[in-house]
Amino acid sequence: MAATISLFFHLILFLISFSQTTIINGDNGFTTSLFHRDSLLSPLEFSSLSHYDRLANAFRRSLSRSAALLNRAATSGAVGLQSSIGPGSGEYLMSVSIGTPPVDYLGIADTGSDLTWAQCLPCLKCYQQLRPIFNPLKSTSFSHVPCNTQTCHAVDDGHCGVQGVCDYSYTYGDRTYSKGDLGFEKITIGSSSVKSVIGCGHASSGGFGFASGVIGLGGGQLSLVSQMSQTSGISRRFSYCLPTLLSHANGKINFGENAVVSGPGVVSTPLISKNTVTYYYITLEAISIGNERHMAFAKQGNVIIDSGTTLTILPKELYDGVVSSLLKVVKAKRVKDPHGSLDLCFDDGINAAASLGIPVITAHFSGGANVNLLPINTFRKVADNVNCLTLKAASPTTEFGIIGNLAQANFLIGYDLEAKRLSFKPTVCA
């Protein structure tokens, strides 16, 4: 009975959140809401897990995702749909509509993949999702991608299916997958619509919660951002503002002209092109704490900024320097993370992290972009009286790092794919 009441309560909150979703549309841009999968607004988690348990789960997902992402970045895998990252580990959800007439679609917003796909009828194998499964036969705007086209050849496993239709198979490192055919379809956000390539998945494994599929926000030609430019003339820009983790507040995501990040406090750094075009690489030159500055491995594009990874992962030598500086500044007793995910934790008694004297940590990116990370970006209370650093060391053989979404919270972060620039602006995102 209690579980039924909890399920009903979360569904009501979720429906209210959709009724209050912010959608701002202009001639060449639009804005809508993002929400964390573990917030009260999310339909993906109906359990009665505690706040600390939800944090621990997010950290475990983050470690799994970061290991796969760094492995692929290090090997510079071929461009295409084969991915070593399971987007089910993604952290933020986005609501759009697909087709004509429009059908509500709840997708995992993923900067670590390109293809936007949805479960489609007829279903050979489908997992349970919250919204009705999309039926392309009932959409007047859906058309198949022929197999003898450049679009079909853009996917690793694109091949000819029945009647010359392009079939795809998108397999992830966690063995989840989507298999089906590629199509062109209308995606609607508010009153604005764009034409995009989508995967129509007729066979999909679990691992995606109750989401309808994945919204690919990577840098490749099949991502939603690139498709907007190719089919609708909307500039290849997007930006987002993420509230602090589990704050139970909506963030926002902007596209086109709405995605411009400007004004006082903005700093920018170049986006670096690599063989794996899906990921967004930037160059971290150093990290400073007080008067101590720790230099990063001098390699262009040595970190990936990713919305779906919670923790920030640093090359081991750089991480060790950060820990050394923190141990000089924070005088509290060192304790262990009861969940075993994080390495540097302190006993904060009954006090907040601020009372520990946690300093501002400054990340120095190329181009003079100095980003001040507050304690809310770098530490998290993981249990009663236990506050832990939310930075982790990569394996000793890994030269890359990841800027995770905790470090991105309360910044408006802009991806300008045309100017090849990433911008940060301190902002209250909730």
Active site residues: 110, 306
The distance in angstroms from the start CA to the end CA of the chain is 33
Cα–chain center distance at 144:
28
Cα–chain center distance at 192:
23
Q: 124: which 2 tokens?
A: 């050979």
Q: With beta carbons less than 8 A apart as the criterion, state whether 296 and 302 touch.
A: yes
Q: With beta carbons less than 8 A apart as the criterion, state whether 76 and 324 touch.
A: no
Cβ neighbours for 97, distance < 8 A, ≥ 6 positions apart:
103, 104, 105, 187, 188, 189
Q: 429: which 2 tokens?
A: 């995102």
Q: Please tell me the distance from the alpha carbon of residue 272 to that of residue 110, in angstroms, as a whole number.
A: 19
Q: Please tell me the distance from the alpha carbon of residue 25 to that of residue 194, in angstroms, as a whole number.
A: 13
Q: In what order do the strands lie in the sheet with 345-347?
A: 334-335, 345-347, 386-389, 379-383
Q: Please tell me the distance from the alpha carbon of residue 259 to that of residue 404, in angstroms, as a whole number.
A: 20
**CA–CA–CA angle 35, 39, 42 (5° rounding):** 65
Q: With beta carbons less than 8 A apart as the criterion, state whether 221 and 154 touch.
A: yes
Strand partners, 108: 93, 214
